[in-house]
Structure 1
Amino acid sequence: MEYKGSSVYDNKEFYDHYMVRRHRDESPNKLIENPALFDLLGDITGLSILDLGCGDATLGEELLKRNCSSYLGIDGSKNMCERAASKLEGTSGRVQHSSLEEYEYPADSFDRVVSQLVLHYIEDVEQVMKKVYRTLKSCGEFVFSLQHPVVTASFKSMQGGKRSNWIVDDYFSSGKRIEPWIGEEVVKYHRSIEEYFLSLQRAGFEIQALREGTPRRENFESEEEYERRKRIPLFLLFSCKKP
């Protein structure tokens, strides 16, 4: 069975395994992606923030601690929304159950839109980018991360365990990919870095910064793990502005 969008997270067995993996201390999301994401987000004090594909609102908790004025997370998974609502209880943050494609994106409503590792699940990503542009206030920013295109190009290396090498193939052949992940088949959509860049420009954005999640030695307890993570980029991040 192929899972599209966030539907795989409503498979309880998958969801339980994913949550353990995602929140482990050595997760590359914690050690590599998050430092790069928060660098691009900068000071968010007093800002209204929309989180696309908020998951369990771990990011939302941190954004509220950093004094954003309001936080709205949306996610297409009921399991994730229930966990997020529980985490946000008693705060000014809230969560809404919706896919990225179906969310209404009210015009000129947010100072910042953020998204972590979600857009590679979206088939028509340019339409979502145009909706993000509309929902941002003037001079608002869109900051997001993706699974790096050198990884999504080909999943031939995905055989489980720690890999000693990677296959990069079909890089300029965009489109649907099936990733074997935690015992299931998950649908993702591959695009080159250039395609993401041009889609953002066509949506109206000014691209301010691009990061590839360069590992930082101070974030790793193990020299071996640090050296391993330097071999291939796992993440691609953009910071864009609505003029």
Structure 2
Amino acid sequence: MKQNKYDDSEFFANYSQMPRSIGGLNAAGEWQELRAMLPELRDKKVLDLGCGFGWHSRYAREQHARSVVGVDLSENMLERARAMTNDSEIKYFRLAIEDIDFTAGEFDVVISSLALHYIERFDILCQKIHHCLAPEGTFVLSVEHPVFTALASQDWYYGPQGERLHWPVDDYHHEGSRQARFLDNDVIKYHRTVATHMNALIESGFRITKVSEPQPTQEMLDKNPDMRDETRRPIFLMIAAVKN
């Protein structure tokens, strides 16, 4: 199912008020770790899947990427990305991630940030990405961690005083769709185990070079002590892989 909640005006308005929507990459807690997983971008042709407001696309050009293609299904997202971009070497296209059909070896680097947990067939997408990457090309992705997506409620288990006792994990091996609540809306996400993510990449012809389950930095914890609970369970899974 190709889902496009971001063209719902109420949902998009709520999304636009999120810190990462206003502050960009530096307001995204996982960005420092994701950035460290990216290869050298100078002179590279980059594909940004689920590009949103275009933050990663513009970053790639700041690092002297030769060209960038950003893909997103939401016209609201792309309208904002185009308004924030003044660079003829960044092209944005309205397209479902599942429907990409680029030529063989067209890109050197593929980036996807927090978009692929909305995609039902991760295995097929990995094959498409492998096809459009040049030999030794790099695919770097981040998704919501399977510990986070296993239960649709995506919430803590609370004690009688409202204290956060623990993060429940159940139905971990029952992969498939979850109707989660995000920004006061019902959203379909797809739960896959860590092993499924990694094996889909390996079976598509990738060599995994790094896996990360980032937690808040000490600087972030010092600025916002409420984030200490984010050290109790992973919220993101990030993988870097190279085309064999």
TM-score w.r.t. the length of structure 2 is: 0.90
Cα deviation code 1:34-72 (max 9, x no counterpart): 111100004211111000010110111222112111111
C-alpha distance 81-31 of structure 1, shift in aligned 2 (>3 A): closer
Further displaced range: 138-147 or 61-70: 61-70
Further displaced range: 101-110 or 71-80: 101-110
Hey, what's the Cα distance between the residues in 2 that align with 1:127 and 1:193?
17
Partner of 2:106: 109
Give the letter for the 2:30 counterpart.
Answer: E
Q: In the TM superposition, what is the alpha-carbon distance from 1:15 to its structure 2 partner?
A: 0.4
Hey, what's the Cα distance between the residues in 1 that align with 2:60 and 2:189?
27
Q: Where do 1:1-243 residues align within 5 Å? A: 5-23=2-20, 30-158=27-155, 164=164, 165-222=166-223, 224-243=225-244
Hey, what's the Cα distance between the residues in 2 that align with 1:196 and 1:181?
23
**Aligned length, in residue pairs:** 238
Hey, what's the Cα distance between the residues in 2 that align with 1:183 and 1:226?
21
TM-score w.r.t. the length of structure 1 is: 0.90
Contact 1:61–1:87 (CA under 8 A) maintained in structure 2: no
Cα deviation code 1:221-240 (max 9, x no counterpart): 42623422211111000000
Give the letter for the 2:201 counterpart.
Answer: L
Partner of 2:159: none
* SS of equivalent residue, structure 2 residue 18: helix
**Which is bigger in relative contact order (C-alpha 8 A, separation at least 6)?**
1
Cα deviation code 1:6-59 (max 9, x no counterpart): 410000110011111143679998353111110000421111100001011011
Identity %: 30
Further displaced range: 191-200 or 23-32: 23-32
Q: In the TM superposition, what is the alpha-carbon distance from 1:107 to its structure 2 partner?
A: 1.0
Structure 2 gaps, min length 5: 157-161
Cα deviation code 1:144-201 (max 9, x no counterpart): 0000000100033448xx9823221111110110001112110111010011111111
Further displaced range: 22-31 or 204-213: 22-31
Hey, what's the Cα distance between the residues in 1 that align with 2:20 and 2:28?
11
